A and B are shown apart, each in its own frame.
Chain A
Amino acid sequence: MYLTADEEAMAAGSDGPAVKWAMDYQLAVGGFFGARRLVPVRSAHAHCDGEALGEPGVRFLEQLADQGARARIPLTLDPRSTDFSCALDIGQTQSIVDTERRILAAMARMGALTTNTCINYQTVDVPHGGEHLAWGDTGTVIYANAVAGARSNFEGGPAALAAALTGRVPAYGFHLDEHRRGTVLVELADQPRDSADWGAVGCLVGRRFPGYWEVPVIDGAERSPSPDEVKQLGAALASYGSHAMFHLVGVTPEARTRADAFGDNEPRERLVIDRAALDGAYRGFVPEREGPDVVVFGTPQLSVFELAELAALFEGRQVAGPVYATTSAAVLRSAEEYGYAETLRAAGVRLLSGVCYYLMTARELGRRNGFRTLVTNSAKLANIIEGYGYNPVFRPTEVCVDAAVTGRIAG
């Protein structure tokens, strides 16, 4: 791999042991993927929840901070496992709370902004076309690549942190033009109606064409989807398909036309999605019980517009069981200012900030509270949560709200 003089010096230890670790780590990962150089990145976004790190991960962060490690570019953080204001109330342990406080302290010492959000792209760090990023959380990466035209691979926690310390990443994958062109064609024969439907599209496409290097080109949308609809599509593609890039013809910046999206590639395969296929995506999630044990909105965290929509649907109603809605601290403050939070709390919806349900020690939470059937309008959450011992039920938003209020899952 070609290294500049500065990069050679970092690898030799000129900037201290933390930067040397970061550079060695990046050269090993970059070498695996045949990277030929490093590329400067504008910001890094690191996933570092307490459940994922465990004690060895926390000690690693503390050791780096003790060595004087310091982010040289903006470093933002993905959601935590706990909302400190209510973790113990909802059945989480003191131990995970303590772990998370140590992580945040170590990250803050290294200069991170403790944003704890997976919608940085809608809030604190909006990406733009052509810039290189080192983002983790697959939903943030696919949004940056596809919707903004920025360039990032999936950077797991250690990789995003390494990038923050060196200000660079190995140039492979979605940093390079050749991987960004479409590989498979998806045609919408019927129109998705809401953000859950766009998540269902992501579910169907991701299942049919799994693999990081697949780039689906979705054609046939008759209207430009909202940012929250595109967010659900991207999060679901990344979750079901491990995709980091897609094109929506006429909408996303590298796909003004179908030909533009594919470049020199020929579509290898084709998938047509109609109403029956979308309905089938929901029906594939079969409730074991008549009603939900818990209803969850979020994954990715809700935007202020999504909280407004939920507030309108819950207004004047009362939940029949536990209902959680997850967002970021900044969005929650906005929702409080605009009155949405008050409406939702009056209906019995618990608003959680800085977290995402599947990061929230979900297995233990489920055992302690007897949660098995989980109803959600997030295709991504429905995918992930099964591995934690849940019976996930993915449904459109209004069906989820009705289930939350009536205690029965319709349809």
Chain B
Amino acid sequence: MTELIGAVGFGDVVEAPALVSNDAFSARYDLDHDTGVISRESHDLCGQSIAGRILVVPTAKGGTATGWRLLDLQSRGLAPAGLVLRTTNPVLVQGAVFAGIPIMHELEPDPVTSIETGQLLRLIPGEGRVETLGGG
């Protein structure tokens, strides 16, 4: 097990498999809202579903729609289980808080390079800690 330590985040403890990307994320710009599948052809996760995964991305992209959209995704079972960013912008945090989805950022080591897709993660936002539980 390895640990990532950093800023205190938002939300409850959650365990789910990681989905890691080198591209920034926006719930409006990149996602097919009906399916929860990344639909931007130039995104490195194009074709993959974010539902129930812990999305690990470098940062959040422009667009304020994410502030609303995570709740709607959540209501249809299509939202990510958690969000881990190298550094986030406010809108993704506002959307995550609105939907009650755990979110964390500013962690060491860098989550984007140290976590692999498929690894089981445990987010402990209140302690600023992420544990990798194997897999991947």
Contact = CB atoms under 8 A, between A and B. Distances in A.
A, B in one complex = yes
Interface string A239-280: 111110000000000000000000000000000000000000
A53 B75 CA distance: 11
Nearest to A236: B62
Interface in B50-92: 58-69, 71-72, 74-75, 87-91
Contact of B42 (A47, A55, A386): A386
B95 interface: yes
Interface stretch (A64-72, A208-216, A321-329, A345-353): A208-216
A227 interface: no
Nearest to B10: A32
B24 interface: yes
A57 B28 contact: no
Given A154-B90, A238-B62, A384 B28 contact: yes
B90 A33 contact: yes
A54 interface: yes
Contact of A384 (B29, B68, B71, B97): B29
B103 interface: yes
Interface in A210-231: 210-213
A120 to B, nearest CB: 14
Interface string B37-54: 001111100000000000
A52 B69 contact: yes
B90 A53 contact: no
A389 B59 contact: no
A354 interface: no
Nearest to A388: B39
A56 B67 contact: no
Interface string A73-88: 0000010000000000
Contact of A154 (B58, B72, B91, B103): B91
A237 to B, nearest CB: 9
Contacts of B87: 211-213
A261 B97 CA distance: 34
Given A54-B72, A55-B72, A156 B59 contact: no
A156 B66 contact: yes
Nearest to B71: A56
Nearest to A25: B97
Given A154-B89, A386-B40, A389-B39, A32 B97 contact: yes
A57 B71 contact: yes
Contact of B75 (A55, A173, A241): A55
Given A33-B90, A158-B98, A212-B90, A387 B40 contact: yes
Contact of B31 (A49, A78, A240, A387): A387
B62 A47 contact: no
Contacts of A52: 28, 65, 67-69, 72
A78 B28 CA distance: 15
B92 to A, nearest CB: 9
B89 to A, nearest CB: 4
Nearest to B65: A52
Contacts of A211: 59, 87, 89
Contacts of B36: none
Given A54-B71, A158-B68, 4 more contacts: A47-B67, A53-B68, A53-B72, A387-B40
25 contacts: A29-B90, A29-B94, A29-B97, A32-B97, A33-B90, A33-B93, A52-B69, A52-B72, A54-B68, A56-B75, A138-B62, A155-B67, A156-B90, A156-B91, A158-B95, A172-B90, A210-B58, A210-B59, A210-B61, A212-B90, A238-B62, A239-B62, A242-B60, A243-B62, A386-B41
Interface of A: 25, 28-29, 31-33, 47-49, 51-57, 60, 78, 136-138, 153-159, 172-173, 210-213, 238-243, 363, 383-384, 386-389
